[in-house]
Structure 1
Amino acid sequence: MTGSVKFDIGGVPVKRLKLSNLPAKHDFKVVYPRTPGSIDPNNPPWPAFRGYHTYSFANATMGHRLPTILGKAIDDVVQTLNELSDEDMIVDLVKCIERMASLKEELTEHALLRPIVDDGEADVALWNKEIAKYFRGKDFMNAPWLFAEAYKYRRLRECFSISKHWSTYDVFFRQKCDTFSRSNDAVFELSTRFCEPFKQDSKQSSADNLESLRLMFLELTQVCLWGNSTDLSLLINMTEDQIKALQSTGGEALAETEKNILGNHMARLWEVVRDLKRDSLDGTGGRIDFVLDNAGFELYCDCVYADFLLQSGLASTIYFHGKRYPWFVSDVTKKDWEWLLNSMVYGQLFPKATAQEKEGLKRLGLRWKKYVQEGRWVYEQHPFWCTGYTFWEMRNEAPDLFLHLSKSDLVIFKGDLNHRKLTYDCAAPYATSFDVAIGPMASSPGAPRVCSLRTIKSDVVVGLGSAGDGDGEEVGEKLDREEPGWKISGKYAVVLLSEGRPGEEVTFA
């Protein structure tokens, strides 16, 4: 053996071999997407975004946004604490605050991810199975961002769920209510238009009525899409004027924003819902599901959209899927759902509103509450929505939910988080088709039609150029050069549709 001494290990010289006769090293790229058998929560189809990736929004979220959100949550609980007089409740809430402070410290110090305490919630086993199988030894920064962020919110839930008196406390409820109460211009823009039942012009031909319906559908789809702009986890210190600008629902504003829909399947989406009306036996459309995102103004827009779908005969039944407990700051819970409908009918949120505006909002709320009573609007909260799993795993980890959604004629996923979970939140190429990006949610037998209405607020972006409006890679790369930060600005959006495999028998291994 020839060579020179490189270093010592325990005083024993270690020699370096001369490899001058072997082939040179080759530089090659790893092939993506990964094969299905090698995909798991720690190894998505393309590379995952992780908190230590300084170039990504994951880094800003895990390092700054989440500690800030936790700090504001602690402030909210302290405000509640200062309003209490019962000692038992005070002591119990102090312990909640201590657990929140400990969680914030763990987040700041990049602590390892521990199992979830058994608090009786239906998702505990799913969480702890995933941690044990894929994330042992992982911490807040080196676990995939999607999982680490969801885990943080589950741990925040745990701070209250194991308490005696505060298991249903929502640290974000005040923020959600306050933001909606400052949305008066946009709220009344819609309520004054839709407080009276929708009617088509009897003097128009059926073709003209259908065209009017199409145009209204496209505008309301945009209203529903851009209502997602008001995401409290991003707009922590937004002024009232800034909120109003984001929530502008005038026709000129919508025409201007449509050019910012980078992957746009709205034309095909219209054909889908139009055919539901045409093909139904009684002309009342089919079943449409909304997987909800933000409470407040976005939920209000979702309900306006759903109301139109029912009244126009494009849908006969609407299912709304929310979260079982407070999640990602502004996500919809059952409490938020009930608060919205009741505050529209009975509340005093808008003291400066005219009597006509208040009456219009009340009529709208009464009609929506009637839909609930009649079973035409159904609110549900499956435990799977609050787990760390992506929707690629729904068929395996929540087969009952997958089977339930397979019976829908169209499932509309709202917002950025749902889009991240649909696409495995990984660094897929911009031109990746939506069908490929959502994997089993498009390819499994019985997979329903899936639409993602998403204002872009995070790193994963797919489906660009899919509507024939240019090369997707070129579109994304141009924005990278000319508008750094475009993927988190909320300025751009996608409306993407997967045809799925509806009607096929759902089978489980």
Structure 2
Amino acid sequence: MKNSLVVNEIRVPNLPLPPALTGSEVGSFTEYTVTERMPAIALRVIKENNFPPQINHKLEQLAAALKTGSLQFLFPDEGVDFSDWEKYLQPYIGQRWLDIPWFVAETYFYRLILNITNYFIPGEFQGLDPFLLQKTQGLEASIDSTISLCSQVQEWLDEALADGKPSKASIMALLYFALWGNRVDLSLWSAFEDDRSKFDIQNQLTHLLVDDAFLVSKLLTKSPGQRIDFIIDNGGFELISDLCFADFLLGSGLAHQVYLHLKPHPTFVSDATIQDVYQTRDFLAEGSHPHVKSFTQRLTENLESGRLILVEDYFWTSPLAFWELPAALTAELAHSNLIVVKGDANYRRLLGDRHWDFTTNFADIVSYLPAPMVALRTLKSEVVAGLTTDTLAELGKVDPEWLTNGQWGLIQLVI
């Protein structure tokens, strides 16, 4: 792996940085997102909430501006990151939404929705998650899968106790669950649009473009009692998969402590916050299935004992690349034995949301993190690295939309 450079106290890949993705790339998924998906999300916020006409009008204006209009700026609010966003947006003043880097446009779009809906302003709508309905529907739609997963985790924990150690197969299976749970990302598909929340892991193995699951299982079983950090992505079944993984790591002795790094406010529709973790726990606790009840009891015990720690940071809702991690967050992650980076948006951040050649060595780009890292990602954007030319040639034949349809996955380990 190549070393990282230190530039203005920021560690960046020791490679020439390619250009960032933008919505002005005609015919791209990026263009489709800015001009179609994002306006639809803004309008759905109107439909699913009871905001007054003046708020709905501003949301309609935002939806209309995305296709051809220029950036609008935040009205003053009391968000912790308000002044940060003034700095983030400074290079893009007067530019169209389509012309600024895609990741900046998306992250700002969700921050602007909270600004418009008075999320950070004392009053009736302070702290109101505008995406709550979809998150709740996502939980309800995946209850059968949740029961199956909790039952399976219970079986694996019993086996680990009987054998004196957890099996690599159980770790690998949990990695696959944590990976494919991302396919129900609500910013891409609605909760009831189809049956994507149900999947057969064995069938999905054929859709893994890189599979380092066995290497991860070897790393975890080599030195039990470690600290594991999850950079969490979505709520719903994906969050349940992550919580089950954490439950197994702690219950089997593979980890003595697990940190979940969560968003400080709603974003990307389904991204998980600390509040979402507790709401998910409470939702599952209302069920009657014994294995789900046992899981929620262990979850509560791990939270109360400090073995499972929930933390948030405004870096996770910023438009910055992973190599721009703040010093304090870098120092915190340096204590980890493995950082598990979840989801498509976090993967884009690992690569700076830039047009890397798809065959570029993944580890040569992600050379700046302070601890071993595994990325679990289903592909929903035109950013990827670490593929072979043979894989690319085959994908072009079997699935022309492989980059963005969420049907292909990656498990990429960097030590």
Same fold, judged at TM 0.5 (above): yes
| Correspondence for 2:330 among 402, 406, 412 | 402
Q: 1:298 — aligned with what?
A: 238
- 1:37 offset after TM fit, Å? 7.0
Mapped partners of 1:273, 1:66: distance in 2: 39
CA-to-aligned-CA distance 1:404-423 (integer Å, 9 cap, x gap): 11111111111001101111
CA-to-aligned-CA distance 1:51-71 (integer Å, 9 cap, x gap): 111232101100100011111
CA distance change for structure 1 residues 40 and 388 in 2, over 3 Å: closer, same or farther? farther
Output the amino acid matched with 2:215.
Answer: R
CA-to-aligned-CA distance 1:385-412 (integer Å, 9 cap, x gap): 1111111211xxx211111111111111
Q: 1:51 — aligned with what?
A: 23
Q: Report the structure number with the largest CA radius of gyration.
A: 1
In the alignment, is residue 110 of structure 1 matched against residue 69 of structure 2? yes
| Correspondence for 2:378 among 447, 450, 455 | 455
| Correspondence for 1:495 among 405, 411, 415 | 411
| Correspondence for 1:289 among 229, 237, 240 | 229
CA distance change for structure 1 residues 70 and 316 in 2, over 3 Å: closer, same or farther? same
In the alignment, is residue 378 of structure 1 matched against residue 309 of structure 2? yes
CA-to-aligned-CA distance 1:358-407 (integer Å, 9 cap, x gap): x332221111011000001111111111111111211xxx2111111111
Q: 2:39 — aligned with what?
A: 67
In the alignment, is residue 233 of structure 1 matched against residue 187 of structure 2? yes
- 1:178 offset after TM fit, Å? 0.8
What pairs up with 1:467-486 in 2 under 5 angstroms?
472-486=388-402
- 1:492 offset after TM fit, Å? 0.8
Q: 1:177 — aligned with what?
A: 136
- 1:190 offset after TM fit, Å? 1.3
CA-to-aligned-CA distance 1:203-222 (integer Å, 9 cap, x gap): 75xxxx65x61111111111
CA distance change for structure 1 residues 343 and 484 in 2, over 3 Å: closer, same or farther? same
CA contact (8 A) 2:39 2:62 kept: no
CA distance change for structure 1 residues 406 and 97 in 2, over 3 Å: closer, same or farther? same
Q: 2:103 — aligned with what?
A: 146
Secondary structure at the counterpart of residue 486 of structure 1? coil
| Correspondence for 1:423 among 351, 360, 375 | 351
Mapped partners of 2:83, 2:130: distance in 1: 25
In the alignment, is residue 339 of structure 1 matched against residue 282 of structure 2? no
CA-to-aligned-CA distance 1:428-477 (integer Å, 9 cap, x gap): 11121222222433xxxxx111111001111101112xxxxxxx133124
Structure 2 unaligned blocks of 5 or more: none
CA contact (8 A) 2:68 2:96 kept: no
| Correspondence for 2:339 among 411, 428, 444 | 411
CA distance change for structure 1 residues 369 and 128 in 2, over 3 Å: closer, same or farther? same
Q: 2:198 — aligned with what?
A: 247
Secondary structure at the counterpart of residue 126 of structure 1? helix
Mapped partners of 1:237, 1:407: distance in 2: 37
CA contact (8 A) 1:452 1:495 kept: yes
Mapped partners of 1:435, 1:341: distance in 2: 36
Root mean square deviation, CA, Å: 2.4
| Correspondence for 1:257 among 204, 210, 215 | 204
CA contact (8 A) 1:187 1:297 kept: yes
What pairs up with 1:187-336 in 2 under 5 angstroms?
187-195=146-154, 198-200=157-159, 213-236=167-190, 238-239=192-193, 242-243=195-196, 246-248=197-199, 253-277=200-224, 285-336=225-276
Which is further off, 254-263 or 299-308? 254-263
Output the amino acid matched with 2:203.
Answer: E
CA contact (8 A) 2:184 2:191 kept: no
Between the two proteins, what is the percent identity of the paired residues? 28
Mapped partners of 2:41, 2:132: distance in 1: 13
CA contact (8 A) 1:319 1:377 kept: yes
Output the amino acid matched with 1:254.
Answer: I
Secondary structure at the counterpart of residue 488 of structure 1? coil
Q: 2:60 — aligned with what?
A: 101
TM-score calculated relative to the size of structure 1: 0.75
Secondary structure at the counterpart of residue 321 of structure 1? strand
Mapped partners of 1:412, 1:155: distance in 2: 29
CA distance change for structure 1 residues 497 and 174 in 2, over 3 Å: closer, same or farther? same
TM-score calculated relative to the size of structure 2: 0.91
Mapped partners of 2:133, 2:238: distance in 1: 16
Output the amino acid matched with 1:288.
Answer: I
CA-to-aligned-CA distance 1:15-72 (integer Å, 9 cap, x gap): xxxxxxxxxxxxxxxxxxxx9979999xx81122111112321011001000111111
Mapped partners of 1:196, 1:439: distance in 2: 37
CA-to-aligned-CA distance 1:287-334 (integer Å, 9 cap, x gap): 101111110110001011111111111111011111111100100012
Structure 1 unaligned blocks of 5 or more: 1-34, 82-92, 278-284, 349-354, 442-446, 465-471, 500-509
What pairs up with 1:87-98 in 2 under 5 angstroms?
93-98=52-57
Output the amino acid matched with 1:61.
Answer: T
Q: 1:506 — aligned with what?
A: none
Secondary structure at the counterpart of residue 45 of structure 1? coil
CA contact (8 A) 1:50 1:144 kept: yes
CA contact (8 A) 1:429 1:473 kept: no
